[in-house]
Structure 1
Amino acid sequence: MKQNVYNGRYTAEVDGEFVVFIIGMRINKLLSFSKWITVFRAMGPMIKELYDFKEFGFLHTEVMFNWRRITLIQYWRSFEQLERYAHGKTHAIAWKKFNQKIGMHGTVGIFHETYKITTKSAEAFYGNMPKFGLANAFKHITVTPSINSARKRLETH
């Protein structure tokens, strides 16, 4: 998928409070393909569902791969909406399958961190980049002289 690069200096205009949710998996035993592929495959349908149904409160996700780990940084409108999704049908089915197939076996590790971000406590900068992170979740705008530093962006938004 080709992404447009926006030359110059950009920031994200953040609208109110939101939640950053970091979730992922780590492959602990590479040769146990049949175990960890189940966890990997569970992510796709959930991400598709989140993009298809904006009423869940999901805003955007960034996916990052490294040697043994897949990490998703997600942006949500509120913790309550994230929590509601976590207790919903699609996630409950994936969680049940994980516990049945992996449990405490150690083949695959999973993790998440949740951060509630309050008004005027988030800022972003993107130089010569495609839209990324907060700029995808909220509004992508040009850096102007009035918001040309991290401090100014935090004080303005």
Structure 2
Amino acid sequence: MQATPARRSVDLSTYPDLVVVYLGFRVTRWRGLLALMGVGRGIAASVRSQPDGLLAHENLFFGLTHVGMRQYWRDLDSLERFTRSEPHRTWWRDFSRDARGSGFWHEAYSRGGMEAIYVGMPAPTGLGLFAPERAPEGGFLSSRQRLAA
């Protein structure tokens, strides 16, 4: 006789503003391996510092050249504070100027909506596989603006 698998769920009522973020990093040229190692060290250090609002962090592997993570944030305000602080702010500014043989993406999900951005990705992934593309500019530039759209 087989045992019935345990069924579990979670009570998210104490997290009304929860934001789940998936982030991905894809190596597109050999040079991107160095960028990946640098980003990996930076992210690991950020997670170890336990930024206010980060509830959990998990590393993910999408393939040999495509890695990522899933993060759970208490709310969008704490996530935005983190992205505007060091070292994230400097890393994002530098990456936006030169992707160094790599692509980066993130998708954010909250009760208020979903949003995504893809930078230097060689092919669509995630929400980009089916949703129409739109340039992240003007009123669609920030994550907060895209979540409200």
Do Structure 1 and Structure 2 share a fold, with TM-score over 0.5? Answer: yes
Which residue of structure 1 aligns with residue 57 of structure 2?
A: 61
- Bigger share in helix: 1
Find 2:36's aligned residue among 34, 39, 43: 39
Q: Which amino acid aligns with 2:22?
A: I
Q: TM-score, normalised by structure 2?
A: 0.59
Which ranges in structure 2 are unaligned for 5 or more consecutive residues?
113-149
Which residue of structure 2 aligns with residue 71 of structure 1?
A: 68
Distance in 2 between residues matched to 1:51 and 1:59, nearest whole Å: 12
Distance in 2 between residues matched to 1:95 and 1:10, nearest whole Å: 38
- Bigger share in strand: 1
Q: Classify 1:48/1:13 alpha carbon distance in 2 versus 1 (closer, same or farther; 3 Å).
A: farther
Alignment of 1:129-148 (within 5 A): none
- Displacement of 1:72 in angstroms is 0.7
The number of aligned residues is 105
Distance in 1 between residues matched to 2:32 and 2:64, nearest whole Å: 17
Aligned CA RMSD, in angstroms, stands at 2.4
Distance in 1 between residues matched to 2:37 and 2:76, nearest whole Å: 24
Q: Classify 1:88/1:98 alpha carbon distance in 2 versus 1 (closer, same or farther; 3 Å).
A: same
* Identity between Structure 1 and Structure 2 (%): 22
Q: TM-score, normalised by structure 1?
A: 0.56
Structure 1 runs of 4+ aligned residues shifted over 4 Å read none
